[in-house]
Amino acid sequence: MPTPRPGGPVRGSTTGRPIMAAMDLFGRRWALRILWELRAGPIGARALLAQCEGLSSSVLYQRLRELTSSGIITPSADGYELTPTGADLGRALAPLDQWANTWAQKQKQEHDQDQNQDQDQDERVDHTGRPPERD
């Protein structure tokens, strides 16, 4: 499958609207996760592989090629790192991280109320400037 590129037709859309190309690219397995891990700075491929438990090397390198040819990451002396555009993307993903936290709380409440026990959990919402931290 070709790497989706804004401006051209992509899977699921013939208009080339950028968000559609992005969704095609990031909808591929592990793409978002690899990006997420790269926020912490340059990292070697083997280390990245170790951090993404369950990711296979063949898919890793496929994603690395796609993200590289999309101008989001670039190979460097220390392995791979985000380009400026990629770093912007990392920041654009921050609201998703915040959403995920509140989502987790709501899902938890929903599950807890089945046992009718309300325990106000410590709210692990990210108030900080989003320092890249590992999972």
Summarize as ranges the residues that interact with DNA (CB under 7 A).
Answer: 1, 11, 28-30, 44-47, 49, 54-62, 64-65, 75, 79
75 binds a second copy (CB under 8 A): no
User: Are the C-beta atoms of 30 and 45 separated by less than 8 Å?
Assistant: no
> Could you give the CA distance from residue 80 to residue 66 in angstroms, rounded to a whole number?
13
> Could you give the CA distance from residue 14 to residue 37 in angstroms, rounded to a whole number?
31
73 DSSP β-pair partners: 82
Amino acid present at 124: R
- Residue 59 near which of DNA, a second copy, none (CB within 5-8 Å, type-dependent): DNA
Measured from the CB atom, the residue of 16 and 79 that comes closer to DNA is 79
Amino acid present at 31: A
DSSP 80: E
101 binds a second copy (CB under 8 A): yes
85 binds a second copy (CB under 8 A): yes
Please give the residue ranges that form the binding site for a second copy (CB under 8 A): 5-7, 11-15, 17-23, 26-33, 36, 52-55, 70-72, 85, 88-89, 91-104, 106-108, 110-111, 135
